Amino acid sequence: MDFLKRLFGPRVELDADSRRRLDAWRALPAEDASAPLGAARYVVVDVETTGLDLHHDDLIAIGACAVAGGRVVLADSFEVVLRQERVSDKDNILVHGIGGEAQREGIEPVEALLRFLEYLGKTPLVAFHVGFDETMIKRAIRRHLGFDFRHPWLDLAYVMPGLLPEYARKHRALDDWTRHFDIGNYARHSALADALATAQLFLAARPLANARKFDSYHALRELEKAERWAARSG
Amino acid sequence: MSAPNALIQATVDHLARFVPFDGMAPEHLAWLAERLKLAYYGKGETLLAPAHGLVQKLFIIKQGVVQGDQGDAGAWLELNEGESFPLGALLSSRAAISSFRAQTDVFAYELAAADFHELLRHSTPFHDFCTRRLATLLEKSQRGIQASYATSSSEQQSLRSPLSSIARRKPVTCAPDTPLRSALETIRDSGISSIVVVEAEGDIQRPVGVFTVRDLIGRVILPGIDLATPIRAVMTPEPMALPASAHAFEAALMMAKHGFRHVLVMDHGSLSGVVSEKDLFSLQRVGVTQISTAIRGANALDQLQLAAEDIRQLGHNMMAQGVAAEQLTQILSTLNDILTQRVIELECTAAECRHAFCWLSFGSEGRLEQTLATDQDNGIIFVAADGETPEQARAALLPLAERINRALDACGFPLCKGGIMAMNPKWCLSLDEWKATFSRWIDSGDPESLLNASIFFDFRALHGRAELATQLREWLMGRTTTTPRFLHQMAANALRNRPPLGLVRDFVVSSEGEHANTLDLKLNGTTPFVDAARLFALASGVGATGTAARLRAAGPKLRIASAEIEAWISAFFFIQMLRLRGQHEENLAGQVMDNRIDPDQLNDLDRRILKEAFRQARKVQSRLSMDYKV
C-alpha cells in the first residue's frame, strides 16, 4: 500500500477556493527556456527542513528571489514558514534559527504552498543542489496539494564546475562558490538569505556562461546534464 | 509580490550602516530597498561610461570596489561598499563625466533615475546628501569630533555662534553731550562697566564712542576733570563694531588684535548690543584676550615664552572643543602675530634701531594658516637712510634680525631649515631689491624660482611699515597679471603634486621607509588648494594671502561658481582639521608633530570625507589644467 501511495500520492481534499487557485496555476502556459539569460525571469530557491533525510524530514520554510533582466529584483522575493505538526528538534532549530513557536505559528501548508506557486508562476527554477530542494518541495506539494510538481530546475552545483572546471575539485559546497566570488550572506541558513546568495552566484555565472555560448537557461541545462553524466562516469 | 520581507529588511539594515542612509527615515529606506535591483559586474567590467548617454540609474555598491576614471586624468577615484554614484549626473540629468569600472567583482544595487528623483523629493537627508554631500559629511564629522571629546560637553556654545546669540544684554547708552556725572550714575545704577555713546537719528542709534570704568582713573580722576564735562571729551572715539551676523571668534580676534575688551554689535547700521571679553570667556577655557593682553604687557623674553606656551595650549584646547579649522588656524596665527610683533618691539627697543622697515611673514604664517607645529618663514623690507647704500642698511639690520629670529626660536618657532629668515642677507632687502628678486623669479621660471615664488608670494606685513608691503604687493600684482607665461609655469608646477587617490586600497601611500603606509596631508592634501588659490590670486590681481580669502575673492573674477568655491574651501579646511587633529594627538602622545597620518586609522566617515576632499583637490587641479592648458 505504502508504495502505491507514494506512486499516486495521497488523496487530498482541497477546499473549493484552493482547488480553483491550483487549477489556475496549472493552466498557466510554460515559459520559454531558450530566451537569452539576460532577458527572462528566473526564480532562485532555497529550503529549510527538519533534517537532511529526503524521505522522512519535512519542509519548514521556502525562500526565493527572482532574477529578471540579469538583476536580482529585491522586491520580487518570497519567504514562507510552513506550520509544523511536530516541531523539529533543538539541533535542527540551531541550524536554521526558526524556533518552535515560529514553526507552530507558520502558515497552514496548503496556503503556504499555493502562495509559493502563485509567486513562482511557470518561471524556471534555479537552486544549488537541486536534488534536495526539489525533493522537499515535491514531497510537500504531493502531500498537501496532491499533485506531482514537475517543473524545470537548474542546478548551480553542476553548472558552476562546468563553467569553471579549474575549480571543480576545490569548490563543492555553496559556501565555496560564494567565497570564490566574495558574495556575502546576511544570514546563512535562512532560506531567503541563502536564496539571495545563490541568486548572486547565478548573476556571477552569466558572463562566464555567455563567454562560452551557454546563453540560455536551456543551454545551461544541457551543460548541467553533461556535468552530471561526467560526474557519474568519472 | 509579497509584503516587505526579510530580504528588504536585510537590505535596509545593510544600507543603514552608511551615510546618508543612516540618517533616513525607516519608511523611506524601505521604499528605497523595495525598488532596488542587485546587479553583478565582473572584475574589469564597465558599470557606467560617458558614452552610455543620459544616466539611467543610481548605483550603490553592495560589495566590491569600483574605480572612477576621468579620461586623460586617469584612474583616481575608488568607491567602496555603501557609496553611491553618479550623483552629479543624475541630479542634472546628463551623461556621466567619469567612467566607472569594477576593480574587483562588484555587486551593486541599482535604482532607476525616476525613483531616485522621487526619493529626493521625499527624503530630506537624502536630498541634502546628494546636493551638498561634502557639507553633509563634514557636519557629521564635526559632530563626531565634538562628541569624541567628552570634556567639551559643558561647552554648549562655540566660537561659531553668531554675535546676535551672545550679545543678549541691551546696551546702556547715552548721548555725546551727557555730562560725565549723569553718565557715571547710569553706569553705577545699571551695574555695568561700560557705556556706549550714541547719536540717535530716528530709530538708528549710531555709536560714536565708548567709555568704561577702566578709563575713569586715567582720564577723569587723575587729570581732575570736572564732572560737568560732556562725555564726548573723555570717551574712546570710533569704537570697534561688528555686524550681528559675525561669529564670536571674529569678535575674539578683534579684541585680541586691538586689545579692546568690548566690541559693539550692529544691526542694519544701528547699535544692537555689546559683546565683552567676559561674554566670550564663557565660550572658552583659555582666553584669547587673556593671552594677547599678557603678550602686550610682556617686557622680557621669558614672559613671551610663557605666552607662546599658552598659545599652543589654547590651540590644543580649541582642537579638543571641536573648534573648526578655519577659526583655529586664524586665531593661532593672530596670536602668533601679536607675539612676534612684541618680540620685534622689544628687540628694536633694545637695539635702538633707527631704520624704517617692514617685517614680513611668508608661507603658512603669511596665509594666516599656521598649524600647531610651525617654523619660521620671515624677511624684512627696509628703507635705507639718506646717503646710505642698501648694503650698509642691511649690515645695520642683520644683527637685529638675528636677535629676533633667535628670540622667536626660543618661543618655540624653530629656525627655518631652508634659511628663509630675516637674518639671512638674501631675505633682508630694500623694496627695489625685493622687486628685482621677484622679477628674476617671474622671468626665469626655473624650478627653484617657482618654489621660491610659492613661498614668498604669500608675504604679509606683520610689523612696522606696512605700506612697504602694500607697495610690493601692488607692484607684484601688476607683474603677475601681465605675465601669462609665468602663471603657466606655476600651474604646471602645481599640477606635479597629485592628490593621493588611487588604485591601491583607497589611498596611495608610500609603502616603504620611515613613512610607510602614511599620507602627507600637507604635501598631498592642502598644498593643491593653496597652490591653486595663490595662482588664482596672482592671475586675477587679488591681494589677499589666505587660501579661503583668495578663493572667495578670485572666484567671481574667474567666473567660478560660488558653490564650487565653497566646496573647495570646505575640503581644504577638512584636511587642515585632520592635520591639526593629528598634531594634537601626536602632542598628547609625546611624539614629534608632523603632517602625516595613516588613513587606516581614520574612522569610515573621515576616510570618506578625506576621499571627497581629495576629489575636490582634483577638481581644483582640473580647473588649473583647463585654464592653463597644462
Write down the pLDDT at residue B175.
Answer: 93
pLDDT at A108 over 60: yes
User: Does B30 contact chain A (CB < 8 Å)?
Assistant: no
Report the percent of chain A where pLDDT is more than 70: 94
Confidence tier at B197 by pLDDT (50, 70, 90)? very high
B429-449 pLDDT, tens digit each: 999 999 999 999 999 888 889
Least confident piece of the model among A207-211, B188-192, B228-232, B480-484: B188-192
| DSSP structure string for B472-510 | HHHHHHHHHHT-HHHHHHHHHHHTTS---B-SSSSB---
3-state class of A37 per DSSP?
coil
* Interchain proximity B45–A207, CB inside 8 Å: yes
Domain limit, last residue, from B265, B281, B297: B281
Confidence tier at A233 by pLDDT (50, 70, 90)? confident
User: Does B610 contact chain A (CB < 8 Å)?
Assistant: no
Beta-strand pair A153-155/B75-79: unpaired
Q: Which residue of A has its CA nearest to B62?
A: A184
The residue-averaged pLDDT of A152-165 equals 94
Residues 6+ apart with CB under 8 A from A161: A167, A168, A171, A227
Amino acid of residue B315: G
Residue with cell 556575502: A184
Q: Which residue of A has its CA nearest to B110?
A: A71
Confidence tier at B286 by pLDDT (50, 70, 90)? low
CA distance B99 to chain A (A): 20
Ranked by mean pLDDT, which of A86-95, B349-358, B499-508 comes out on top?
B349-358
Residues 6+ apart with CB under 8 A from A232: none
For residues B183 and B266, state if they share a domain. Answer: yes
Q: Which residue of B has its CA nearest to A179?
A: B105
Q: What is the mean pLDDT of chain A?
A: 88
Chain B CB contacts of A97 under 8 Å are none
Write down the pLDDT at residue B507.
Answer: 56
Q: Which three cell numbers stand for residue A166?
A: 579549474
Contact A186, B14 (CB under 8 A): yes
Write down the pLDDT at residue B157.
Answer: 44
Least confident piece of the model among A113-122, B54-63, B88-97: B88-97
For residues B76 and B199, state if they share a domain. Answer: no
- Asked if residue B338 belongs to a domain, the reply is no
CA distance B61 to chain A (A): 13
Least confident piece of the model among A93-97, B74-78, B605-609: B74-78
| CATH code (residue B599) | 1.20.120
The residue-averaged pLDDT of A38-61 equals 89
Chain B CB contacts of A119 under 8 Å are 2
Taking alpha carbons only, the member of A74, A49, A87 closest to residue A189 is A49
* Interchain proximity A186–B1, CB inside 8 Å: no
pLDDT at B164 over 80: no
- The 10 Å Cβ neighbour count of residue B603 is 11
For residues B618 and B534, state if they share a domain. Answer: yes
Spatial distance between the Cα atoms of B318 and B452, rounded to a whole number of angstroms: 33
pLDDT at B232 over 50: yes
Q: Is the pTM of this model over 0.80?
A: no
pLDDT at B505 over 60: no
Domain limit, last residue, from B217, B250, B281: B281
Amino acid of residue A113: L
Q: Which three cell numbers stand for residue B152?
A: 567639551
Spatial distance between the Cα atoms of B492 and B495, rounded to a whole number of angstroms: 5
| Chain A interface test: which of B40, B59, B80 (most A C-beta within 10 Å) | B40
- Asked if residue B612 belongs to a domain, the reply is yes
ipTM exceeding 0.90? no
Contact B380, B359 (CB under 8 A): yes
CATH number of the domain at A2-229, please? 3.30.420.10
* Interchain proximity B6–A193, CB inside 8 Å: yes
pLDDT at B508 over 70: no
Contact B67, B503 (CB under 8 A): yes
Least confident piece of the model among A214-218, B154-158, B433-437: B154-158
For residues B17 and B111, state if they share a domain. Answer: yes
* Interchain proximity B10–A193, CB inside 8 Å: yes
Nearest 5°: the CA angle A72, A76, A81 is 115
User: Does B46 contact chain A (CB < 8 Å)?
Assistant: no
3-state class of B283 per DSSP?
coil
Spatial distance between the Cα atoms of B240 and B254, rounded to a whole number of angstroms: 8
Amino acid of residue B95: A
Domain limit, last residue, from B250, B281, B312: B281
Amino acid of residue A219: A
Write down the pLDDT at residue B59.
Answer: 96
Compare B605 and B65 and report the one with higher pLDDT: B65
Taking alpha carbons only, the member of A44, A45, A64, A59 closest to residue A203 is A44
pLDDT at B155 over 50: no
Q: Which residue of B has its CA nearest to A192?
A: B7
* CA pseudo-torsion sign B287, B292, B297, B301: positive
* Interchain proximity A70–B39, CB inside 8 Å: yes
Q: Residue B259 — left, alpha, or beta (φ > 0 → left; ψ -120 to 50 → alpha)?
A: left
User: Does A193 contact chain B (CB < 8 Å)?
Assistant: yes
Spatial distance between the Cα atoms of B505 and A6, rounded to a whole number of angstroms: 58
3-state class of B386 per DSSP?
coil
Q: Which three cell numbers stand for residue B35?
A: 525598488
Q: Exposed, middle or buried, B8 (CB in 10 Å: 0-12/13-18/19+)? A: buried
Q: What is the mean pLDDT of chain B?
A: 84
**B 86-125 residues inside an 8 A Cβ radius of A:** 104-105, 107, 109-110
Nearest 5°: the CA angle B394, B337, B340 is 50
Q: Which residue of B has its CA nearest to A68?
A: B37
Q: Which residue of B has its CA nearest to A181?
A: B105
**Inter-residue long-range contacts of B530-535, CB under 8 Å, 24+ positions, other chains counted:** B530/B367, B530/B369, B530/B572, B531/B454, B531/B490, B531/B493, B531/B494, B531/B497, B532/B494, B532/B568, B532/B620, B532/B621, B532/B623, B532/B624, B534/B454, B534/B457, B534/B458, B534/B490, B535/B487, B535/B490, B535/B491, B535/B494, B535/B624
Q: Which residue of B has its CA nearest to A187?
A: B10
Confidence tier at B302 by pLDDT (50, 70, 90)? confident
Produce one character per residue of B398-427: b if its CB has 16 or more CB atoms within 10 Å, e if not.
bebbbbbbbbbeebbbeebeeebbbbbeeb
Give the residues across from A46 on adjacent strands.
Answer: A63
For residues B66 and B192, state if they share a domain. Answer: no
Compare A37 and B260 and report the one with higher pLDDT: A37
For residues B185 and B79, state if they share a domain. Answer: no
| Chain B interface test: which of A44, A72, A118 (most B C-beta within 10 Å) | A72
Confidence tier at B72 by pLDDT (50, 70, 90)? low
Beta-strand pair A71-81/B194-201: unpaired
Largest CA distance in chain B: 97
Give the residues across from B38 on adjacent strands.
Answer: A72, B109
Spatial distance between the Cα atoms of A26 and A21, rounded to a whole number of angstroms: 9
Give the residues across from A79 on adjacent strands.
Answer: A63
Write down the pLDDT at residue A155.
Answer: 96
Spatial distance between the Cα atoms of B452 and B363, rounded to a whole number of angstroms: 10
Compare B171 and B102 and report the one with higher pLDDT: B102
Compare B629 and B502 and report the one with higher pLDDT: B629
Nearest to A71 among B13, B38, B63 (CB): B38
* Interchain proximity A203–B110, CB inside 8 Å: no
Q: Which three cell numbers stand for residue A102?
A: 515560529
Spatial distance between the Cα atoms of B491 and B487, rounded to a whole number of angstroms: 6
Confidence tier at B156 by pLDDT (50, 70, 90)? very low
Produce one character per residue of B99-115: b if its CB has 16 or more CB atoms within 10 Å, e if not.
bbbbbebbbbbbbeeeb
Spatial distance between the Cα atoms of A60 and A55, rounded to a whole number of angstroms: 14
Nearest to B38 among A74, A182, A193 (CB): A74
Compare B510 and B56 and report the one with higher pLDDT: B56
pLDDT at B587 over 50: yes
Write down the pLDDT at residue B7.
Answer: 87
Spatial distance between the Cα atoms of B167 and B118, rounded to a whole number of angstroms: 44
- Name the residue range of residue B565's domain: 491-628
The residue-averaged pLDDT of B94-117 equals 91
Number of domains in chain B: 3
- The 10 Å Cβ neighbour count of residue B282 is 11
Write down the pLDDT at residue A8.
Answer: 53
B540-584 pLDDT, tens digit each: 989 899 999 999 999 999 999 888 898 899 889 888 888 888 888
For residues B202 and B88, state if they share a domain. Answer: no
* Interchain proximity A204–B40, CB inside 8 Å: yes
- Asked if residue B196 belongs to a domain, the reply is yes
Contact B308, B412 (CB under 8 A): yes
Confidence tier at B32 by pLDDT (50, 70, 90)? very high
User: Does A97 contact chain B (CB < 8 Å)?
Assistant: no
Nearest to B34 among A74, A78, A193 (CB): A74
- The 10 Å Cβ neighbour count of residue A189 is 14
- The 10 Å Cβ neighbour count of residue B273 is 20
Spatial distance between the Cα atoms of B487 and B403, rounded to a whole number of angstroms: 37
Spatial distance between the Cα atoms of B3 and B15, rounded to a whole number of angstroms: 19
**Inter-residue long-range contacts of B351-354, CB under 8 Å, 24+ positions, other chains counted:** B351/B399, B351/B400, B351/B403, B353/B397, B353/B400, B354/B385, B354/B396
- Rounded (10°) angle between helices B325-351 and B301-321: 180
The residue-averaged pLDDT of A116-144 equals 95
Beta-strand pair B262-267/B241-243: parallel
| Domain ranges within chain A, ordered by starting residue | 2-229
pLDDT at A7 over 70: no
pLDDT at A230 over 90: no
